[in-house]
Amino acid sequence: MKKIFDAMPLTSYLKEYAAQGTLRAHMPGHKGRSLPELSPPQDAYAWDITEISGADSLFEADGILLAAERRTAAVYGSPACCWSAGGSTLCIQAMLARMRMQNRTVIAARTVHRAFLNACILLGLEVHWVFPRSGGVISGEYAPEDFAQALHAVRGAGKSACVYVTSPDYLGSQHDIAELARLCHAQDAPLLVDNAHGAHLPFLPENRHPMALGADYCCDSAHKMLPALTGAAILHCRSEQEARELKCSMQMFGSTSPSYLIMQSLESCTAYLEQCGREAVSLCAERAGVLRRKLAGKYRFIGTEPLHLTIAADGHDLAAQLRQCGVECEYEDAGFLVLLLSPVMTEEEFAALFRALERCTPSAPVPAPELPPPMQQAYSMRTAALSGWETVKLSQAEGRICGPVQVPCPPAVPIAVSGERLTKPWLTLMEHYGLGEIAVMVQA
Ligand SMILES: Cc1ncc(COP(=O)(O)O)c(C=O)c1O
């Protein structure tokens, strides 16, 4: 058997990683364990089926899948939802398709995941960007009045609008969703929230879920912060009629074979949340708070979302030290390290994480340069991303037009977006994040 596995690099990697017993401070939120009594039997293949009689069909559900989706919506307290086996990526495509059909201009906070950008490119949507007042590429502080101003500008030009924000972002910073919803609704604009990192938010002592705070559409990657298989996500909306319309868009982008194993994990996750969601998520947040307080003299924790344990330090150095202690992190760069916590983590795992952090010595972060003035949008994002492109070194890219965005994942947050004319300060910023080259349009 060993010999066969040797010729299967992915399989041997997974086998070894599982055997190591690493403390997984990264996605998925199940942390490598199934939910007792709620998960498939040992041989998961037995539950991997297709749309046979009685099994319903996700994009036109009217049987067991519709009932299961309604149960998820009820647990979240949202009027309706659609399940996704294609992650939040598919949910983002669907909600933006709806905005395209309504002919709305998208006003977006610049801190977006590349899934947003690619959906805009595929749908031919142009974006009115709002940049953060402070902070950097991955996370920033936004002023609600900047969105109000953008709404006035778009509405003043006789167009209808919508606002799109990512909250929490990769470092765990959150927008003031209630305030944004108020601003949007005063201008007849829906608020769309990429809540990929916040599927657990309704279950904190104070419900911080975007739908509870007034958002109109919101996607949650259940797999990131909760016990669900990778790919399991939820798209919340304001009515069942809307959910049916969103599904029409989902099936334009998604596979015709959404995985029943992923969907079953979403049902398990829903049952888990029903049984003990509030208790488990609140306890996790409380343990995280204790850990932060006990280590406050040694580490500088940032971000407002309790289950994102984000440290301002040289993330590469700290990640290497933690690895030596058997802890694998979610994200590292020269300025930050992110550890993702989950309600399924045990008291022993929290104790082990505490001991590991106590043993490590953080070194000073290398601060990212401030965000330079915005670049000129020389071509539409769609034209630039779907034209011929070539890869050039950053040192040769000044003045060229950004082509398809190829940012590494995590965090997959674009620095320049397709169609922008590249300037030196933005190229310097890319160097800070370790990029060496960039795809640019050939004809420009
Ligand atoms: C902020 C954000 N939005 C959207 C996505 C896409 O989510 P998914 O992987 O569930 O498709 C990610 C993935 O990492 C993300 O970090």
Q: Is residue 63 part of a domain?
A: yes
- Provide the CATH number for the domain around residue 100: 3.40.640.10
Q: Is residue 49 part of a domain?
A: yes
Domain that holds residue 433: 381-409+416-441
Describe the chain by its helix, strand, coil percentages, rounded to 5. 40, 15, 40
Using pLDDT thresholds of 50, 70 and 90, give the confidence band for residue 1.
Answer: low
pLDDT at 6 over 80: no
Residue 233 CA, closest ligand 1 atom number: 10
The structure's pTM equals 0.97
Q: Is residue 142 part of a domain?
A: yes
Q: What is the pLDDT of residue 172?
A: 96
Helix extents (H) in 295-419: 315-324, 347-359, 381-385
Residue 27 CA, closest ligand 1 atom number: 14
Q: What is the pLDDT of residues 367-389, one digit of tens each?
A: 888 899 999 999 999 999 999 99
- Provide the CATH number for the domain around residue 387: 3.90.105.10
CA 306 from chain centre, in angstroms, equals 16
From ligand 1's centre to the CA of 52, what distance in Å?
30
* 35: DSSP letter: P
Which residue from 83, 113, 230, 310 has its CB within 8 A of the most atoms of ligand 1, so it is best to mutate? 113
156: amino acid identity, one letter: G
Q: Is residue 340 part of a domain?
A: no
Tell me how far apart the alpha carbons of residues 182 and 191 are, in angstroms, rounded to a whole number. Answer: 9
Q: Is residue 347 part of a domain?
A: no
From ligand 1's centre to the CA of 156, what distance in Å?
33
From ligand 1's centre to the CA of 3, what distance in Å?
36
Residues with CB under 6 A from ligand 1: 87-89, 113, 115, 166, 170, 194, 196-197, 221, 233, 412
From ligand 1's centre to the CA of 167, what distance in Å?
11
Which protein residue has the closest C-alpha to ligand 1 atom 10? Answer: 87
Q: Is residue 293 part of a domain?
A: no
Domain count, the chain: 2
Using pLDDT thresholds of 50, 70 and 90, give the confidence band for residue 444.
Answer: low
- How much is the average pLDDT of 349-367? 97
